Amino acid sequence: MSDDFCNSKKFTFLCDSDLDFMGCDVFCSLINLKCDFRGKAQARPQRVDSENRLEKIAVIVTKEYIGHGDNLGQSLLAEFLASLAESKHVPQYVIFMHRAVILCCENSPVIKQIKFLQKRGTSIKVCEKSAQTLRVMGDVIIGDLVSLPVIADICLKSEKVVWI
């Protein structure tokens, strides 16, 4: 195998016994190791922007609640966003899609949490197609309206994507 093939991340690790280990990149990511073609595993350095403590993570929010649409579900989402904003490391992106785009509009019950995330350095993105479909384009007061190809690009470039 050539180095170019192995660097394509389809096969990224050749173990000490010279056996191909398919999917090592995923496995090593889970155990926080960085593998190279020569069969050595090293502790993976945390990829964090030292100034803003941003993790290369995209969080996608698709509803105005977690679980069911009752008071508990709304409360859980508010507390989740607050916990993200108050954590030591914040996600690089929080993307609001589908019905969750209304959370970025005036009178949102979680606007304070979203503003705090933005203040901490998280980039807030709002799905333009969702906002158009729900007829709230003019009501969005926080975040950048972006197209689906931009959202797809963010997801592909992120180390982790978390769906809420």
Query: What is the structure's pLDDT at 22?
Result: 36
In this structure, are strands 54-61 and 160-163 parallel, antiparallel, or unpaired?
parallel
Query: Which burial class, exposed, middle or buried, applies to 124 when counting CB atoms under 10 A from its CB (0-12, 13-18, 19+)?
Result: middle
The amino acid that residue 46 corresponds to is Q
What lies within 8 Å, CB to CB, of 68 at 6+ separation is: none
The tens place of each residue's pLDDT in the chain, 164 residues long, gives 444 433 333 333 333 333 333 334 433 333 333 444 334 444 333 344 444 567 899 999 999 999 988 999 999 999 999 999 999 989 999 999 999 999 999 999 999 999 999 999 999 999 999 999 999 999 999 999 999 999 999 999 999 999 99
Token pair in block for residue 18: 């010279």
CB 45 within 8 A of CB 159: no
List the domains of the chain with CATH numbers.
Answer: 3-43 (no CATH), 48-163 (3.40.1260.10)
Proportion of the chain in helix, strand, coil states, percent, rounded to 5? 40, 25, 40
**What is residue 64's predicted lDDT score, i.e. its pLDDT?**
95
pLDDT of residue 53: 67
